[in-house]
Structure 1
Amino acid sequence: MNSSRSRKSQLASRRNVLFGGAAAASGLFIAGCTSNESDDDEGGTEQQAPAASEEAGAPVTIGFAGPQADHGWLNAINEQARARAEIYEEVTLEIAEGSNDTATQIGQVEALVNGGVDVLVILPADGVAMTDTALEIMRAGTPVINLDRIFDNPQAYRCWIGGDNYGMGLNAGHFIGEQLRDVENARVVELSGPDNLELTQQRTQGFDDALANYPNITKVARQAAEFTTESGQEVMANLLQAESEFEALWNHDDDQGAGALQAIAQAGRDEFLMVGGAGSRAAMDHIQADDSVLKATVLYPPTMAASAIDLARALGQARGLNGLAEFEIPSSLTLFSAVVSRDNVEQYLPTGFN
């Protein structure tokens, strides 16, 4: 935060940003990692530098409250935010220790705001439960970037950015459909995430809607795992026992997919193709090597955290997005769920998470 401004002028400036005050149409580079060079020790954190013509702009302090890193994708979210902030010399990133407990996270974000951050980025442990806190922060004059798990009230955030769970299922279904287009009476199975999660339901709905375009394909089985390697192995073993033959498998999550691949190898099955979900580095390595039934994965890109830092920086500097005519950042951004196959895996390897 620029110490030369008074607290009163800071609050006025924030309110202008929150509610659409005029801003200079300056640029923002909002892509994730696209370099074809990767660091195996830091999978998913390599960043592309901002456009060379972009000026640094005014100093901005960004508060980041992310999740507990108990899953590969969640860890990648935290790493993407850290790495992205480091490429901007004028950005200071204040990070709260990740937590899956709502009460703990509320205390963390309140501490960040009381410490004087200009913009707050939150991936909430529970979007609904955190809504009132985010709403209070917005009303007090600190803009909030809501990352992925959405708050229950659009007034609780200035901008939401996240993935497309329905699109994941839709694109997985279309990829499988095209691979099996000429197979008569093709059968597919689905290894989903936990059924109590809305995102699981959205992924399944998208998958089913895509398959409806292929009358030669029937989904013959669906079982739910828990987004862990252990559950993926156990549930996949059950699926293999129940279904003696099928042509394709869609697995919602690459962490549980690692266990599914173990079960598949142990059963000696290879008559089908597998499509994963989220975009882990291990999955991409298998796709590139073409050494298993895994032929593609559908992204739920953790680079959204890097883009959230870009959005927060733009918001704190009253900038718009490079390539858009508007003077302000959008109110929401839904990221595309790209299908990564052997044809394009080189491009996406740097975004793969460990």
Structure 2
Amino acid sequence: MPETSRRGLLFGTAAVSAGAFLTACTSNEPSKKEPAADSRPAADDKPGKHVTIGFAGPQADHGWLNAINEQARSRAETYSDVTLDATEGSNDTAAQIGQVETLINKKVDVLVILPADGKALTQVGLKAMRAGIPVINLDRVFADPQAYRCWVGGDNYGMGLNAGKYIGEKLKDKPNAKVVELSGPDSLELTQQRTKGFDDALKNYPNIRKVARQAADFTVESGQAKMAQLLQAQSSFDALWNHDDDQGVGALRAVQQAGREGFLMVGGAGAKSAMDAIKADNSVLKATVLYPPTMAASAIDLARALGQSKGISGMSELEIPASVTLFSAVVDKQNVDQYLPTGFN
């Protein structure tokens, strides 16, 4: 899968979603807390200065990417003092650069950009910043930190790490346990980070050995084909770490067609279909590690706060952070009801 056609690089452990920390930061409701003793601008006050946010998101050719666009639009609609000027979304680098330049020429107040290719769009990010339009860089990071005011995104290493920890704890008492991995495309840095996190976690469990790995393409079809190969090559194993819930749909089909069982599967991203399967508890899929698309809603929260010169409720600083890395929570049968509302189609 080309890097320009799929998602790029997925806060507190109890957060239901990425927006949990930031939802209050720009709420239209008055703060229930006593006013601060200083003159720091409140981040959770009533509607304030109107802010036009330009949003350049991805083409919705994947469940997670579609959820990114929906999260941005729906969050903007909750604010009476926000206008969202959204592009059609593109995974073509040149087309997206043109879209961002159009938003710059419109003189929007803040830009939220999930670049098709972070390196390729760095120059247009720099152009916006130099024009006095602050940029919220969403997920796929620009090559130059001067190209954005704040980065918001997921933790791919942490995603693999938490998947490995979950599997490790489930298999820690099983001698000579074997695991397999169904990754994303090896050409993507995010895939490499997820695999490294997983491998590092397994180092803490000397009884567990990874015996096979296949790289899929974040699609149902590739998930099914590559999982079939894993099943054919490995007559038995105890756990599967699958990087993506979309390709996981195909992986489950392959498992069912082969009539295989006796192992646990951990998915990735947090699709509703995966959470429904986890809740039903009628397949090998027992957990998924989140890479929350709610990061787009949080980016809108931050853009509004930035446009209104506010900080974040619950933090003492006058300004929004320079970066926000989301936590990759593990969702299993014990907590799936809590996370189901965040699942994406």
TM-score (norm 1): 0.87
Quick one: distance in 2 between partners of 1:107 and 1:85? 23
Quick one: distance in 2 between partners of 1:179 and 1:148? 31
Which residue of 1 is the match for residue 238 of structure 2? Answer: 247
Which residue of 1 is the match for residue 29 of structure 2? Answer: 52
Change (3 A) 1:31 1:260: closer
1:161-310 counterparts in 2 under 5 A?
161-310=152-301
For 1:280, the aligned partner's letter is A
Of 87, 94, 112 in structure 2, the residue corresponding to residue 103 of structure 1 is 94
Change (3 A) 1:49 1:283: farther
Which residue of 2 is the match for residue 83 of structure 1? Answer: 74
In the TM superposition, what is the alpha-carbon distance from 1:50 to its structure 2 partner? 3.2
Change (3 A) 1:31 1:171: closer
Quick one: distance in 2 between partners of 1:275 and 1:59? 44
In the TM superposition, what is the alpha-carbon distance from 1:52 to its structure 2 partner? 2.8
Which residue of 2 is the match for residue 158 of structure 1? Answer: 149
- Helix, strand or coil for the counterpart of 2:266? strand
Of 95, 114, 125 in structure 2, the residue corresponding to residue 123 of structure 1 is 114
1:338-353 counterparts in 2 under 5 A?
338-353=329-344
Aligned residues: 314
Kept in 1: contact 2:25–2:301 (CA 8 A): no
- Helix, strand or coil for the counterpart of 2:299? helix
Quick one: distance in 1 between partners of 2:234 and 2:180? 9
1:9-28 counterparts in 2 under 5 A?
none
In the alignment, is residue 318 of structure 1 matched against residue 303 of structure 2? no
Q: Deviations over 1:91-140 (max 9, x none)?
A: 00000011001110011011112112100000000000000111011011
For 2:182, the aligned partner's letter is L
Kept in 2: contact 1:33–1:351 (CA 8 A): no
In the alignment, is residue 329 of structure 1 matched against residue 320 of structure 2? yes
Quick one: distance in 1 between partners of 2:117 and 2:311? 29
In the TM superposition, what is the alpha-carbon distance from 1:51 to its structure 2 partner? 6.6
For 1:261, the aligned partner's letter is L
For 1:52, the aligned partner's letter is E
Quick one: distance in 2 between partners of 1:272 and 1:246? 6
User: Which residues of structure 1 form unaligned runs of 5+?
Assistant: 1-29, 35-46
Q: Deviations over 1:158-182 (max 9, x none)?
A: 0000000000000000000000011
Which residue of 1 is the match for residue 58 of structure 2? Answer: 67
Kept in 1: contact 2:17–2:342 (CA 8 A): no
Percent identity of paired positions between Structure 1 and Structure 2: 73
Structure 1 residue ranges, 4+ long, deviating more than 6 angstroms after superposition = none
TM-score (norm 2): 0.89
Quick one: distance in 1 between partners of 2:292 and 2:18? 9
- Helix, strand or coil for the counterpart of 1:284? helix
For 2:166, the aligned partner's letter is F
Quick one: distance in 2 between partners of 1:312 and 1:49? 10
Which residue of 2 is the match for residue 23 of structure 1? Answer: none
For 1:75, the aligned partner's letter is N
Quick one: distance in 1 between partners of 2:213 and 2:71? 33
For 2:305, the aligned partner's letter is A
Quick one: distance in 1 between partners of 2:225 and 2:274? 19
Quick one: distance in 2 between partners of 1:58 and 1:133? 26
Kept in 2: contact 1:274–1:296 (CA 8 A): yes
Quick one: distance in 2 between partners of 1:97 and 1:321? 30
For 1:270, the aligned partner's letter is E
User: Which residues of structure 2 form unaligned runs of 5+?
Assistant: 1-15, 31-44
Quick one: distance in 1 between partners of 2:51 and 2:134? 12
- Helix, strand or coil for the counterpart of 1:249? strand
Which residue of 1 is the match for residue 42 of structure 2? Answer: none
In the TM superposition, what is the alpha-carbon distance from 1:335 to its structure 2 partner? 0.4
Which residue of 2 is the match for residue 41 of structure 1? Answer: none
Quick one: distance in 1 between partners of 2:27 and 2:330? 25
Quick one: distance in 1 between partners of 2:156 and 2:278? 22
Kept in 1: contact 2:160–2:198 (CA 8 A): yes
Q: Deviations over 1:278-322 (max 9, x none)?
A: 000000000011011000000000000000000000000000000
- Helix, strand or coil for the counterpart of 2:74? helix
Quick one: distance in 2 between partners of 1:278 and 1:31? 12
